[in-house]
Amino acid sequence: MKKTLLTAALAAATLAGTQVASAARDYITVVGSSTVYPFATVVAERFGKGTNFKTPNVESTGSGGGLKLFCNGVGQEHPDVTNASRRIKASEVDRCAKNGVNDIVEVLIGYDGIVLANSKKSEQITLSRRDIFLALAKDVPNPNGKEELVPNPYKTWKDVNPALPATKIEVLGPPPTSGTRDAFAELALEGGCKSFGWIKDIKSQSKKAKKAGDKKLSKSLKKKYKGICHTVREDGPYVEAGENDNLIVQKLNANPAALGVFGFSFLDQNADKVQGSLIDGQEPTFDSIADGSYPVSRPLYFYVKKAHIGVTPGITEYLAEFTSEKAFGPEGYLTEKGMIPLGDAKRAQVAADVKGLKNLSL
């Protein structure tokens, strides 16, 4: 009888396997940014409970990974929605178009602040973006004032700025695979980098070259500029701590001398353990991020494949749920999870665009 059982089990497995492969999908699949993930999952859950549709399946793959899966084509094996913690790039739109994904609806849902925080056991720190750049960039302008780059010589915060404490520079942050790191480099490092006139000049030269039609020069200058401003040092003070923000918070708690880089929602939930550092005189709070005075915040988006609307059941309803006042409004449930809402006018416009399924235009 053993043999029969065996064959039966094998056959059953094959049967089940093949049936899965051919069944049509009746739930929405969402991929993308790990920053938007906590918000998308709340909406997905409420959508699943509040309607007769199945709960969407949300996977966190990172912004770039999500857009890649999203742009792979139309059809049930490709996701319907992707979340991103940055805007879609022209290169990605091209890639989408090449694979037949032509009509995309873009939805801006709100903002997320990136904070530099340390344990409450030590003093709150006040930094400028210039300090952050000097402390964390790979190459920095020569401290003697010459307009040249030297490998970052700074070991303690005091070296960077005499007003700061004499503790070792130790910043726990996300690895380069993370969108948070990209945004941090773009907003904080570049912000400080630009404060050096001669570096900024490189960028304006690049623009000039572009105007003059010298694309090659423009590109190489731009590359040089970004190379200076976005490259994070690799000699120790910046510790890549993985994608798990909770772990960073707990490591900060265990190591009061270190600073950590993570999303505002984690600061919000762990306010008893960690405190946000002031950047350019602004403390990261709900209000300062919402009104734009806190400099390090980034927009959150999601993108929907228009070709899937009407094919995968429930996409329009999911869109409506996400852009309803009770979700992304200033009093909505997403703000409770730490998302910073858009202004009233902007929100109304987004809601209207979504209703009309306006196509993405860069």
Q: Considering only residues 278-337, where is the footprint of another protein by CB under 8 A?
A: 307-308, 310-313, 331, 333, 336-337
- Letters for 182-221 (x = contact with another protein by CB under 8 A, - = none) are x--x------------------------------------
How many DSSP H helices and E strands does the chain contain? 17, 13
Selected binder of another protein within 28, 65, 113, 261 (CB under 8 A): 65
Side-chain-side CA neighbours of 189 within 13 Å: the count stands at 24
Query: Using the rule CB under 8 A, is 265 a contact of another protein?
Result: yes
Q: How far is the CB of 192 from another protein (least distance, A)?
A: 15
Stretch that binds another protein, among 113-121, 207-215, 267-275, 341-349 (CB under 8 A): 267-275
Q: How far is the CB of 200 from another protein (least distance, A)?
A: 17
Query: Using the rule CB under 8 A, is 61 a contact of another protein?
Result: yes
Selected binder of another protein within 338, 341, 342, 360 (CB under 8 A): 338
| Nearest residue to 217 via CA among 225, 231, 226, 206 | 206
Q: Residues in the chain, how many?
A: 362
Q: Which is nearer to another protein, 158 or 230 (CB)?
A: 230
| Size of site (CB under 8 A) for another protein | 107
Selected binder of another protein within 118, 119, 128, 178 (CB under 8 A): 178
Contact 262, 244 (CB under 8 A): no
Contact 252, 258 (CB under 8 A): yes
For residue 349, give the H/E element and its range.
helix 344-355
| DSSP string across 220-248 | HHHHHHHHHHHPBP-SSSEEE--S-HHHH
- Letters for 82-101 (x = contact with another protein by CB under 8 A, - = none) are -------x-x-------xx-
Query: Using the rule CB under 8 A, is 166 a contact of another protein?
Result: no
Contact 288, 282 (CB under 8 A): yes
| Nearest residue to 165 via CA among 250, 233, 257 | 257
Query: Using the rule CB under 8 A, is 244 a contact of another protein?
Result: yes
